[in-house]
Amino acid sequence: MTKSFVDLLRSRRSIRKYATEPLDPEMVVQLMEAALLAPSSKGKRPCEFILVDDKQKLVALSECKNFGAAMLREASLGIVVCGRMDVSDVWIEDTSVAATTLLYQAEALGLGACWVQVRERGLDDDTPAALVVRSVLGLPAEVEPLAIISVGRKLRDSRPHDEELPWEKVHTNGWNNANQD
Ligand SMILES: Cc1cc2nc3c(=O)[nH]c(=O)nc-3n(C[C@H](O)[C@H](O)[C@H](O)COP(=O)(O)O)c2cc1C
């Protein structure tokens, strides 16, 4: 049965452990269809996606920063979400929307996925993660990597978001101090 949208929002979790069983090619098509349908400012579509299923490259990408990228070693697929700075001044927003859309499409397909932040992250020696990604994938100068979405089959079910939501963050008709501690 198809999940309602709110059920999808609640069940999506960051999944960092994956089974070895590969993805069906049709799943990859559906993931990318979702990403390509994501809205972009002025419809400029500055997003570019690099699909990585080469194990050596996934390992190299997993080493683009010291923390938070290791799951790419086990992932079936890394989707490197990039933006063209020469196409849109708000490429960060547009690529973020596309990356988010990928996370929810993965959940809709029953797959596990996690956002690996690249922009503004790096190695302890100050090498930017983007520089590592750029050299592994041969990106041209105008194409800036935002994040990598790691994707694989879930090893186990994860707990849905069933916590109390922070409704105090919702303000009506202006800033409401009473909402905050
Ligand atoms: C902009 C952004 C950057 C993130 N970067 C990373 C990352 O580099 N590595 C990682 O393991 N998780 C990363 N995450 C996942 C968050 O840690 C995760 O979404 C958060 O802890 C909430 O958990 P949930 O996704 O299971 O709801 C990122 C999420 C977002 C939205």
**Residue closest to 103 by CA, chosen among 11, 39, 1:** 11
Q: What does the pLDDT read at residue 102?
A: 98
The phi and psi torsions of 36 (rounded to 5 degrees) equal -75, -20
CA of 92 to the centre of ligand 1 (A): 16
Q: Per-residue pLDDT for 141 more than 70?
A: yes
CA of 46 to the centre of ligand 1 (A): 23
DSSP string, 145-168: EEEEEEEEEBSS------SPP-GG
With contact defined as beta carbons under 8 Å apart, do 123 and 65 qualify?
A: yes
Q: What H or E segment, with its residue span, contains residue 144? A: strand 143-153
* Percent of the chain surpassing pLDDT 90: 95
Q: Per-residue pLDDT for 178 more than 90?
A: no
Helix/strand/coil for 117: strand
pTM: 0.97
pLDDT tens string 78-109? 999 999 999 999 999 999 999 999 999 999 99
Measured by CA distance, the residue closest to atom 21 of ligand 1 is 14
Mean pLDDT in residue range 125-154: 98
CATH numbers and ranges of domains, the chain: 55-155 (3.40.109.10)
Q: Is the CB of 115 under 6 A from ligand 1?
A: yes
Mutate which of 8, 10, 12, 14 to test ligand 1's pocket (most atoms within 8 Å of Cβ)? 14
Q: What does the pLDDT read at residue 177?
A: 74
Q: Which atom of ligand 1 is nearest to the CA of 103?
A: 25
